[in-house]
Amino acid sequence: MTRPMRVVLLAGGGGGAKLAAGLAALVPTIELCVVANTGDDFEHLGLLICPDFDSVLYSLAKQLDTKKGWGRDGETWHVLGELTALGGPDWFGVGDRDLALHLLRNSMIHKGYDLSRVAAELCGHFDIRPTRVVPASDQPVRTVLTTTEGQLDFQDYFVGRRCQPEVISIDYVGVDDATPSMGLTAFAREGIDAVIVAPSNPLLSIEPILRITGMPALLSDADQIVAVSPLIDGQAIKGPLAKIMVELGRQPTSAGWAELVDTQHPNFVNHWIFDTQDQRHADRFAGSPQTTACMNTLMNDEGAATALARAIIQALLSTNRQGCA
**pLDDT recorded at residue 284:** 77
Within-domain flag for 13: yes
Residue 228 domain flag = yes
Three-state SS letters, 170-234: EEEECCCCCCECHHHHHHHCCCCCEEEECCCCHHHHHHHHHCCCCHHHHHCCCCEEEEECCEECC
Sheet containing 150-153: give its strands across: 150-153, 142-147, 167-173
Instruction: Report pLDDT digits (tens) over 195-235.
Output: 999 999 999 999 999 999 999 999 998 999 999 999 999 99
Name the region of 322 (left: φ>0; alpha: ψ -120 to 50; beta: rest). Answer: alpha
Lowest mean pLDDT among 181-185, 258-262, 278-282: 278-282
- Total domains in the chain come to 1
Residue 285 falls inside a structural domain: yes
Query: What is the band of 323 on the pLDDT scale with cuts at 50, 70, 90?
Result: very low
| 49 SS3 class | strand
| CA angle, residues 143, 206, 226, in degrees to nearest 5 | 175
Distance of CA 146 to the CA centre of its chain: 22
C-alpha 133/C-alpha 114 separation (Å) is 14
Per-residue b/e over 189-220, b at no fewer than 16 CB within 10 Å? eeebbbbbbbbbbbbbbbbbbbbbeebbebbe
Q: Quick check: 64 pLDDT over 80?
A: yes
Classify residue 114: in a domain, yes or no: yes
Between CA 298 and CA 206 the distance in angstroms is: 19
Distances (CA, A) of 303 to 4, 86, 139, 226, 243: 22, 43, 36, 21, 29
* Angle CA 198–202–203, to nearest 5: 150
Domain containing residue 51: 5-319
261-287: per-residue pLDDT in tens?
999 999 999 999 999 999 988 887 776
* Crossing angle between the packed helical segments 115-125 and 96-110, to the nearest 10 degrees: 140
Q: What is the pTM (predicted TM-score) of this model?
A: 0.95
Mean pLDDT of all residues in 303-322: 86
Q: Is residue 325 part of a domain?
A: no
For residue 96, which amino acid is it? D
Q: Is the pLDDT of residue 192 over 80?
A: yes
CATH code, 190: 3.40.50.10680
**Do the domain assignments include residue 147?**
yes
Q: How far apart are CA 168 and CA 31, in angstroms?
A: 39
Q: Give the Cα separation of 223 and 316 in Å (integer).
A: 9
Strand partners of residue 144? 153, 171
In a domain, 70, yes or no: yes
Q: Is the pLDDT of residue 1 over 60?
A: no
Note the helical H segments in 269-301: 279-282
Round to whole Å and give the CA distance between 132 and 193: 16
Residue 324 lies in a domain: no
Averaged pLDDT for residues 90-111: 96
Report CA 296 to chain centroid distance, whole Å.
Answer: 19
Alpha helices in 70-178 (DSSP H): 78-85, 96-110, 115-125, 154-155
- Give residue-wise pLDDT tens across range 77-98: 999 999 999 999 999 999 999 9
